[in-house]
Structure formats: C-alpha cells, structure tokens
Amino acid sequence: MNKKILEAIRDIKEPLVLVTIIETKGSAPRHNGSKMIISKDGIIEGTVGGGIGEYNSLIEAQAVLSNKKFTIMDVARLGDDPNESLMICGGVNKLMLQYLDNRTKETYLKALEININGHGAKVRTDLLTGISILVDIGEAKKDNCFDDFIAPADNLLILGGGYVGYAIYELAVILGFEVTVFDDRAEFVDKSRFPDAKRLDSGDYLELINSYDFNDFTYVTVVTRGHLQDANCVKGIIRKNKRYLGLIGSKRKVRLILEDLFVSGYTKDEINKLHAPIGIDIGAETPEEIAVAIMAEIIGEKYGKKITKC
C-alpha cells in the first residue's frame, strides 16, 4: 500500500472510502492491492487505473460514504474502439470499497506503525462482512478473504550527493521512495539541498553504510566522486540485505572494479547481482537523463521485470 494512503487515513479525520483492487482478470493497468482513498470531495490519493472504471468507482464511493456499507464492484476494461470512452486494456478488475470507520482506520494505522519500524504487515478483509483485521504475515489465506500485504516503504540509499546523486534524489522523491543520501563531504548533504530526504549524513562511507538499516526493500545507487570510494562502497554493501545495488561508471572502470571484487574473494553470484554500469542504456548524458535511466532500472527491479542491457 502506498504510504501516502496510510498517512491520509491517519491525518484526515472525516469519513473516507478505501478502494482496493482485489482481483484482476486479463490485462489491466493496475495490479491486485492497488488503492485509492476517497472523501466526499473526491480522490485524495492513489488510483485504480483511471478512465471510466475509476470514475464509476468514485460515484460508488460517494454512495458508500452515505450508506456506510461495504461493497464490491466489477470494473470492465473491455472496450474495443479507441474512439469510445471505454478503456481497451481487455481486462476486468474487482474492486473492494470500504467505509473507514474508526475501527477500520485503527487497523490500517497499526499497519502504518509496523511499517515505520521496518517490517511488513498483513491486513485481512472478510469479503462478506467488510471487517479488516491484522494477521500474522505467515498465516495461510482463508476463503472469502482478501489478504493485503502492506510492505515497508521502498527506501533508496544514494551514495554520493553530487550532480547525479541530486538528480536521482529529485526523481526518487516524486516516485515515492524514502531517500537517504550519504557523502564524505558535509557541504554535499545539506538539508537545504535535499529537503525531502529521510536522512542525510557525511563522513566515512563504510561507517555510514554500517549504520544504515538495510532490508528487502532497499535500493542502493553508488554515485560517489571517485573510483576508490565507489569500489569501497560496493564492497561494503554487496553482502548486505537489499533489493538492488547499482554502480555508476564507464565500462573500463566497471571492469576494473569487477575484477577487484573477484580477486577479493566475492563469488560470481554476488558479483552478478551488481548492476554495473548502472541504469538502462538510453543514451543518457545529463545528470537528469542519467537519473531517469537509473530509476527506470530500479522500477523494473521492483516489479520483477527483466531488463535487457543494450
């Protein structure tokens, strides 16, 4: 679940409706678990795919706000004429619309608290009654229930606060990542430069890396100012728990670092998990273009897409 949706549930005191995709058949723009939060004034946060289907769910949500009743609806995206208003994805989404009373809000707020502490949470909703409860992550699925795994926030560690690091930060914040920036130069991790960063620190890279709380939702970009710093950072991170590790550099620089890793005793499997050179090859030259290439690769990793390097 989008952290912003959880925060909206926490911060908005008026009645809300939580819309969740609980089943997808065929081709559809959003996956199971995608959400949006709706108030009497309209959509507050999130999307379940846009178009006429989302518009219909918005109308239905207003009815739920009025009658306070849990409901499930189907949204068809089966139009075959691109000039008509129907979406032509070719699929059907089943949507769950929950009226968020205090009890239901409390369930999701507990999930938010768990995620702040770096752990995932599972919310189980009975599809007959609409009642939601927190359950153990390992608990087996039950019939007539929808289990919603609410993962910790995607967290991006940027090593190097120079031009490229700053461009990555700007794009990552827009994409909803919790961003940390480390640099060995204090002036490059100033709060005025990175106002939306979760954490900023300067000092020895290895000491800073060892102070970071890595998890399965951690993405790391190594974009420091020098070859030696890059190599040391990679060695400090390569065996830590993470989702993605990328290293910037020319093919020659990357080849030298990979050779050094092998000589230093790192296994072929460990080395092969390093994305180097970092990013998708789109011919990027400016820091902003490079950031797009890097974040595109990270998003592909997030959704399990195999990225073919040129």
Q: Are residues 9 and 135 in the same domain?
A: yes
Side chain identity at residue 160, one-letter code? G
Q: Are residues 162 and 279 in the same domain?
A: yes
Q: Are residues 221 and 184 in the same domain?
A: yes
Instruction: Of 99, 123, 109, give the one whose Cα is nearest residue 17.
Output: 99
In a domain, residue 310? The reply is: no
Band of residue 77 on the pLDDT scale cut at 50, 70, 90: low
Separation in Å, CA 146 to CA 10, 26, 126, 201, 260: 22, 19, 7, 41, 49
Q: Are residues 143 and 162 in the same domain?
A: no
The answer to whether residue 27 scores a pLDDT higher than 70 is no
Sign of CA dihedral 80, 83, 85, 87: positive
Q: Are residues 184 and 47 in the same domain?
A: no
SS (H, E, C) the chain: CCHHHHHHHHHCCCCEEEEEEEEEECCCCCCCCCEEEEECCEEEEECCCCHHHHHHHHHHHHHHHHHCCCEEEEEEECCCCCCCCCCCCCEEEEEEEEEECHHHHHHHHHHHHHHHCCCCEEEEEECCCCCEEEECCCCCCCCCEEEEEECCCCEEEEECCCHHHHHHHHHHHHCCCEEEEEECCHHHHCCCCCCCCCEEEECCHHHHHHCCCCCCCEEEEECCCCHHHHHHHHHHHCCCCCCEEEECCCHHHHHHHHHHHHHCCCCHHHHHCEECCCCCCCCCCCHHHHHHHHHHHHHHHHCCCCCCCC
In a domain, residue 309? The reply is: no
Band of residue 81 on the pLDDT scale cut at 50, 70, 90: very low
Q: Are residues 208 and 273 in the same domain?
A: yes
Band of residue 101 on the pLDDT scale cut at 50, 70, 90: confident
In a domain, residue 307? The reply is: no
Tell me the whole-structure pTM to 2 decimals.
Answer: 0.81
Q: Are residues 172 and 123 in the same domain?
A: no
Q: Are residues 168 and 285 in the same domain?
A: yes
Count of domains in the chain? 2
Out of 116, 150, 184, a domain closes at 150
The answer to whether residue 89 scores a pLDDT higher than 80 is no
Separation in Å, CA 80 to CA 57, 77, 86, 92, 152: 21, 9, 8, 14, 38
**Structural domain for 46, as ranges:** 3-150
Range 126-151 average pLDDT: 91
Q: Which of 15-19, 45-49, 119-123, 274-278 has the lowest mean pLDDT?
A: 119-123
Q: Are residues 164 and 73 in the same domain?
A: no
In a domain, residue 308? The reply is: no
Q: Are residues 7 and 114 in the same domain?
A: yes
Side chain identity at residue 100, one-letter code? L
CATH at 206: 3.40.50.720
Considering only residues 13 and 298, tell me which one the structure prediction assigns the higher pLDDT: 298
Supply the mean pLDDT for the chain.
89
Out of 92, 127, 150, a domain closes at 150
Out of 95, 118, 150, a domain closes at 150
Q: Are residues 220 and 234 in the same domain?
A: yes
In a domain, residue 199? The reply is: yes
In a domain, residue 84? The reply is: yes
Q: Are residues 181 and 298 in the same domain?
A: yes
Considering only residues 146 and 76, tell me which one the structure prediction assigns the higher pLDDT: 146
pLDDT of residue 296: 97
The answer to whether residue 264 scores a pLDDT higher than 90 is yes
45 vs 193: CA distance, rounded Å: 27
In a domain, residue 218? The reply is: yes
